[in-house]
Amino acid sequence: MSGVLLVARRELWGYLRSPVGYLLAALTLLVDGLLFVAYAVGEAGAKRYSAFVLQQFFYGLSGVTMFCCTLLAMRLIAHEEEHATLVLLKTSPLKDRQIVLGKYLSVMVAVLAITLLTLYMPALIFVRGRVSVGHIAIGYLGIALLASAVTAIGIFASSLARTQLVAVILAAVMVAAMLLLWWVARVSDPPVKDFVNGLALHHKRQFDFMDGVLRLENVAYYLSVTVFFLLAAQKTLEARRWR
């Protein structure tokens, strides 16, 4: 565990010491704020249910979080490869699993820290309307699980690529493909429709969280995606020792 924390801590210091980390955080919060005002709250004087505003807020937040995770994850392994520092980790007593988990943990801590800074927006709804704390908590849980899955996909893409640019393109393509499965489901017939819909990264799974509904199957889905791609990243790192 200490090896995982060591890798995670170094990554986090890397974010804090580079302008990229601050820029990304600022950009994320700015877009979140704009989406909240323009999309969730709507036009001045327009009347909306508080729960609806909160749902729209989480909808916007989920998109921004996916974007943020993809960008942060791209650098994790591809950046080390580009700067020839990966060899330091690979020749240390750390296991590949610890390297992958440490990097995953660093992105999750960074993304959750940025996401928590958006808490003032649901708090504003609280002031002017009526929403339950449970709804807010489940919405944020959904965002955290989505972030976890997208980060894992990003790490896998980063482990495949030699450069950060290739990593981010690869991650974006994979995330987009998993997002668009809901559209594939729309044009399919059962039972393929249900199966494909169940695999989609956002639509069916995330809407429940946005509505404040906690379903264990959705939690299990995001955790499964996370574990699958982290495992794939670990195996890719192991395979790289052969070439």
Partner 1 sequence: MIDVSELSKFFGERRAVGPMSLHIESGEIVGLLGLNGAGKTTTLRMLSSDLLPTSGTIRIDGVDLVEDPDRVRPKIGYLPDRPPLYDEMRVEEYLGFTARLRGMPSDGKTARRVREVMDQTAVGEVRRQFVGTLSHGYRQRLGIAQAIVHRPSLLLLDEPISGLDPVQIVEMRELIRSLHGDHTIVLSSHILPEVSETCDRILVMVAGQVRDAGWDQIRGTLALTLRGDPAVAERAAAATAGVTRVEAIGNLAAARAPHGSAQDDTGVFTLRVASDRDVREALCAALVHADVGVLELSRAERQLEDLFLSLAGLGKGAPAGVKEVAA
Chain mean position to CA 231? 17
Residue 89-108 contact track with partner 1, rule CB under 8 A, x = bound: xxxxxxx-------------
Nearer to partner 1, 17 or 215 (CB): 17
Nearer to partner 1, 26 or 88 (CB): 88
Q: Does 45 bind partner 1 (CB under 8 A)?
A: no
Q: Does 166 bind partner 1 (CB under 8 A)?
A: no
Nearer to partner 1, 17 or 186 (CB): 17
Distances (CA, A) of 38 to 8, 89, 135, 180: 36, 45, 21, 25
Q: Does 19 bind partner 1 (CB under 8 A)?
A: no
Q: Does 224 bind partner 1 (CB under 8 A)?
A: no
Considering only 30, 85, 123, 183, the residue that binds partner 1 (CB under 8 A) is 85
# binding residues, partner 1 (CB under 8 A) = 23
Give start and end residues of each alpha helix (H) in the chain: 2-17, 19-35, 50-82, 86-90, 96-116, 120-128, 133-160, 164-179, 181-186, 192-199, 203-210, 216-240
Nearer to partner 1, 148 or 236 (CB): 236
Nearer to partner 1, 23 or 87 (CB): 87
Query: Tokens 């210091």 appear where?
Result: 13
Residue 190: cis peptide before it, omega within 30 degrees of 0: no
Maximum distance among all Cα pairs of the chain, rounded to whole angstroms? 63
Considering only 88, 116, 117, 192, the residue that binds partner 1 (CB under 8 A) is 88
Which stretch, 14-22, 25-33, 56-64, 67-75, contacts partner 1 (CB under 8 A)? 14-22
Residue 191: cis peptide before it, omega within 30 degrees of 0: yes
Considering only 1, 46, 84, 187, the residue that binds partner 1 (CB under 8 A) is 84
Distances (CA, A) of 31 to 45, 57, 115: 22, 11, 12
Chain contacts with partner 1 (rule: CB under 8 A): 3, 6, 10, 13-14, 17-18, 83-95, 241-243
